[in-house]
Amino acid sequence: MSANKKEVMLIVGSPRKERSTSHSLGNYLVQKLGKQGWVSRTIYSHDIYNDENLLNKMFQEIDKSDLIILAAPLYIDSIPAPVIKVLQEINNYRRKVRNASQPDFLIIINCGFPEAEQNNTAIKMYKEFSDSAGFKWLGGLSMGMGGAVNGKPLLKAGGMVRNIRKALDLTAASIVVGESIPEEAFTLMSKKLIPKWLYLFIGNSSWKRQAKMYGAKDKLYDRPYIVSYRKQ
């Protein structure tokens, strides 16, 4: 860790990298910390998970960091496989290091489901990792309706993300002064961005447009793997 300036490392766990909603959320928080003098670096799990040299460089950065932020999407109630691999490598490394530092660890997770609580199982997984790796767990900020953001910078995403920005503003303010993240931040982060019916309508309309584009409009309701049983 730096003796002068605080250092934060952002790990983006989406294959879309800088075009992802995960990056939009994590980068907004990092920029807020940057305005308070924090030094930051960003890495992408999908670039490093299978590269021993890049993993070793990440370990060195972890040793210097005061805070690690992992921003990632939800994949079917779980963690993306490349992110799991990176976490396993970090955990293995930390177990070998004597007198390891104890940086803070914060999760920002988003899902395509309307409800933020769909992320709860994955957050518990991240908490288990944090404890095992010897990090100081700050909690998991959880957002639903990630598709509505679709990778846009939060300052350009309009009024629908006002609660998200406020949640991250509160989080940054608490981190800077060394306080716990307020419950209000977690609550604001989990609020729906738009009405559920509207989100589903837009999502279904987009899905149908894509199906039409690829000549699959009449196949949306196909069930090719259904098994029929004859009544006895």
Mean pLDDT, consecutive 10-residue segments, the chain of 232 residues?
Answer: 79 96 98 96 96 95 95 94 97 87 95 96 97 96 95 95 98 96 97 94 88 89 74 50
Residue 140 lies inside a defined structural domain of this protein: yes
Residue 158 is part of which domain span? 7-194
CATH code, 12: 3.40.50.360
Residue 14 lies inside a defined structural domain of this protein: yes
Residue 142 lies inside a defined structural domain of this protein: yes
Sign of the C-alpha dihedral computed for residues 17, 18, 20 and 25 taken in this order: positive
Q: Which residues contact 1 (CB under 8 A, 6 or more apart)?
A: 7, 64, 65, 66, 101, 103
Q: How far, in Å, CA of 22 to CA of 111, rounded? A: 10
Q: Which residues contact 178 (CB under 8 A, 6 or more apart)?
A: none
In this prediction, residue 49 carries a pLDDT of 95
Helix (H) or strand (E) holding 91: helix 81-96
In this prediction, residue 225 carries a pLDDT of 84
* Number of domains making up the chain: 1
In this prediction, residue 207 carries a pLDDT of 84
Q: How far is CA 122 from CA 24, 41, 165, 176, 208, in A?
A: 20, 24, 22, 26, 30
In this prediction, residue 128 carries a pLDDT of 97
Q: How far, in Å, CA of 171 to CA of 193, rounded? A: 19
Contact 192, 145 (CB under 8 A): yes
Residue 171 lies inside a defined structural domain of this protein: yes
Residue 230 lies inside a defined structural domain of this protein: no
Residue 211 lies inside a defined structural domain of this protein: no
In this prediction, residue 74 carries a pLDDT of 97
| DSSP SS3 for 152 | coil
Residue 135 lies inside a defined structural domain of this protein: yes
Residue 123 lies inside a defined structural domain of this protein: yes
Q: Which of 145, 78, 136 is nearest to 111 (CA)?
A: 145
Contact 71, 11 (CB under 8 A): yes
Q: How would you classify the pairing of strands 104-110 and 7-12?
A: unpaired
Q: How far, in Å, CA of 78 to CA of 126, rounded? A: 10
